Amino acid sequence: MKVTKEEVNQYYQKAGIVLTEEEKERIQLMDYGLNKPEQLGLQLFVYVNTDRYCAKELVLFPEQTCPEHRHPPVNGEKGKEETFRCRYGNVYLYVEGEKNTDPAVLPPREDIEHFTVWHEIQLSPGEQYTIPPNTKHWFKAGNEGAVITEFSSPSTDSHDIFTDPRI
């Protein structure tokens, strides 16, 4: 499956989010070097990312998973703190904490060994959750896909630490 920026923009439209033509060109398509974006990937648009704050729009296609990772301390800062607000679809967010013994969704079967946190938070449109700095987390869309607005402290994605050593 080849993911396109136009497909991503269609999800933004479902959520009532309007991007300019120039902004549509800046949509990022992430497959984390695993070459199976329909299973493990993320699509995003960055509104702003300064040394003080960051705002993004994330898209997950149906049942697509963003791999487990954390945002560690960088340059004396305690790591990125981020709030996810669901705009469209359903998001299943897994963070450190008490393990859910019957999770609503699972990561791709062949990759499950790279997922270690199982405290489940389900987000529907209008609901949000804040992930503390340096907290392992991963998330997956339900069967209609999802759009998430992310508000955070500065994003230094190159410092993210993924549980999966292939990333």
Confidence (pLDDT) at 53: 96
pLDDT tens digits along 103-114 = 999 999 999 999
Confidence at residue 90, expressed as pLDDT on a 0 to 100 scale: 98
For residue 2, what pLDDT is reported? 79
Supply the pLDDT for residue 71: 97
Give the model confidence (pLDDT) of 14-35 as tens digits: 999 999 999 999 999 999 999 9
pLDDT reported for residue 1: 62
Question: Which residues are CB-contacts of 112 (< 8 A; sequence separation ≥ 6)?
Answer: 106
Cβ–Cβ < 8 Å for 27, 45: yes
**Which domains does the chain carry?**
5-155 (2.60.120.10)
* Amino acid 3: pLDDT: 86
**How confident is the model over 50-100, as pLDDT tens digits?**
999 999 999 999 999 999 999 999 988 899 999 999 999 999 999 999 999
For residues 65 and 138, is the Cβ–Cβ distance under 8 A? yes
pLDDT in tens, 134-165: 999 999 999 999 999 999 999 998 999 999 99
Averaged pLDDT, 107-122: 98
* Tokens describing residue 50: 């300064």
Left, alpha or beta for 87 (phi > 0: left; psi -120 to 50: alpha)? alpha
